[in-house]
Amino acid sequence: MIGRRQQVALALTALLASAAACQNHHRQQAQGRPAPAASRGFTLVASGDVLPHTSVIDRASFDAGGSGHDFRPMLAGVQPVVSRADLALCHMETVYGGDGAYTGYPVFKSPPQIADALAATGYDGCSTASEHALDDGAAGIRRTLDALDEAGLRHAGTARDEAEARSVTLHRAGTAKVAHLAYTFGTRGIPLPPGRPWAVDLIDADRMIADARAARRAGADVVVVSVHWGTEWQEAPDRLQLGLARRLTASRTNGRPDIDLILGTHAHVPQAYEKVNGTWVVYGMGDQIAGEMYDAHGVRDPRGNESTIGRFTFAPSARPGERWQVVRAEFVPQWYDLDAGRVVDLDRAVDRGADLQGVRDRIRNVVLSRGAAADGLVMAD
Domains identified in the chain, total number: 1
Cα 88 to chain centroid distance, Å, stands at 8
* Res 283: pLDDT: 98
* Res 140: pLDDT: 98
Classify residue 5: in a domain, yes or no: no
* Res 355: pLDDT: 87
- Calpha distance 200→131 (Å, rounded): 10
CATH of residue 154:
3.60.21.10
Identify the three-state secondary structure at position 305.
helix
User: Of 144, 143, 106, 113, whose CA–CA distance to 126 is shortest?
Assistant: 144
Classify residue 189: in a domain, yes or no: yes
Classify residue 3: in a domain, yes or no: no
* Res 177: pLDDT: 97
Cβ atoms < 10 Å from Cβ of 27? 16
User: Of 254, 250, 277, 267, whose CA–CA distance to 306 is shortest?
Assistant: 267
Question: Do residues 32 and 83 lie in contact, with contact meaning Cβ atoms separated by under 8 Å?
Answer: yes
Q: What string of pLDDT tens digits covers the 381 residues of the chain?
A: 444 333 433 333 333 343 444 344 434 443 444 444 445 699 999 999 999 999 999 999 999 998 999 999 999 999 999 999 999 999 999 999 998 889 999 999 999 999 999 999 999 999 999 999 999 999 999 999 999 999 999 999 999 999 999 999 999 999 999 999 999 999 999 999 999 999 999 999 999 999 999 999 999 999 999 999 999 999 999 999 999 999 999 999 999 999 999 999 999 999 999 999 999 999 999 999 999 999 989 999 999 999 999 999 999 988 887 899 999 999 999 999 999 999 999 988 756 677 899 999 999 999 999 999 999 999 997
- Calpha distance 255→123 (Å, rounded): 32
* Full residue range of the structural domain in which residue 137 is found: 10-379
Classify residue 21: in a domain, yes or no: yes
Classify residue 37: in a domain, yes or no: yes
- Calpha distance 347→362 (Å, rounded): 13
Classify residue 322: in a domain, yes or no: yes
* Res 17: pLDDT: 40
User: Of 178, 185, 181, 195, whose CA–CA distance to 240 is shortest?
Assistant: 185
Cβ atoms < 10 Å from Cβ of 219? 15
User: Of 363, 370, 375, whose CA–CA distance to 305 is shortest?
Assistant: 363
Classify residue 2: in a domain, yes or no: no
Helix H segments across the chain? 13-30, 54-63, 72-75, 79-83, 113-121, 137-151, 162-166, 205-217, 239-250, 353-367
- Calpha distance 281→246 (Å, rounded): 10
